[in-house]
Chain A
Amino acid sequence: DGGITQSPKYLFRKEGQNVTLSCEQNLNHDAMYWYRQDPGQGLRLIYYSQIVNDFQKGDIAEGYSVSREKKESFPLTVTSAQKNPTAFYLCASTPRGVRTGNTIYFGEGSWLTVV
């Protein structure tokens, strides 16, 4: 079945450590997104990408980095520069067209905790 796979589901990070969250989709979607959600809050956009080898900063990109070497993959690295990374992270994808892109598909999310 087509969908988005995020891994790991739960991740613990030590102070000063970089960690990478994986996001893979087999939906042949051009656009992919990373969002962060804090408890009781909405989704905030970290980075997004429309095509391979191209991505744009969202509203809270500081302390994060991404790559888009393949259409299917959009990994997110939480760097040591992100001082408060504990949150729920959601990867999403959508077709590029305005009308065809009428649904955003989400992965199941990754919980990141700083220890």
Chain B
Amino acid sequence: GQNIDQPTEMTATEGAIVQINCTYQTSGFNGLFWYQQHAGEAPTFLSYNVLDGLEEKGRFSSFLSRSKGYSYLLLKELQMKDSASYLCAVRATNSGGYQKVTFGTGTKLQVIP
């Protein structure tokens, strides 16, 4: 099976930088997603990492280390609208050849003035 861990909650100040970590244990790893979700809404795509390293996209960056089973999402210049849950998800191929996408429990980020 897959085990994905994220902190439950984080608080950060408007204008600051915050890093949300995600660790995972899985076999047949294909890639790792980060999604943002506001309460009561469907998640929205932020990033997808397949290879090791940092990928930057505007104020958001995502890092992956496959050997360590570790990823982080970096949010810069925080805005109040960034208050949301951030979901880490792992895509993996199981022994039967099926690709499965499993989500962590999510990190609820609160941005304060």
B101 with A33: CB separation less than 8 A: yes
A43 with B87: CB separation less than 8 A: yes
Q: Is B43 an interface residue (CB 8 A)?
A: yes
Contacts of A18 in B (CB 8 A): none
Instruction: Tally the A-B contacts, defined by beta carbons under 8 Å.
Output: 65
Q: Is A44 an interface residue (CB 8 A)?
A: yes
A94: nearest chain-B partner, CB-CB: B101
Contacts of B50 in A (CB 8 A): 98-99, 102
Contacts of A43 in B (CB 8 A): 43, 87, 89, 103, 106
Number of residues of chain A lying within 8 A (CB) of chain B: 29
Beyond A56-B98, A99-B50, whether A107 also contacts B42 by CB under 8 A is yes
Give residues of chain B (18-70) contacting chain A, Cβ–Cβ below 8 Å. 30-31, 33, 35, 40-43, 45, 48, 50
Give A56 to B30 CA distance when docked, in angstroms.
Answer: 18
Q: Is A16 an interface residue (CB 8 A)?
A: no
Contacts of A64 in B (CB 8 A): none
Give residues of chain A (27-41) contacting chain B, Cβ–Cβ below 8 Å. 31, 33, 35, 40-41
A106 with B98: CB separation less than 8 A: no
B100 with A45: CB separation less than 8 A: yes
Give residues of chain A (59-107) contacting chain B, Cβ–Cβ below 8 Å. 59, 88, 90, 92, 94, 96, 98-99, 101-104, 106-107
Q: Is A108 an interface residue (CB 8 A)?
A: yes
Which of A40, A42, A48 touches B104 (beta carbons < 8 Å)? A42
B42 with A48: CB separation less than 8 A: no
A48 with B106: CB separation less than 8 A: no
Q: Is B110 an interface residue (CB 8 A)?
A: no
B35: nearest chain-A partner, CB-CB: A104
Q: Is B79 an interface residue (CB 8 A)?
A: no
A-B pairs with lowest CB-CB distance, top 4:
A42-B105, A43-B103, A106-B42, A102-B48
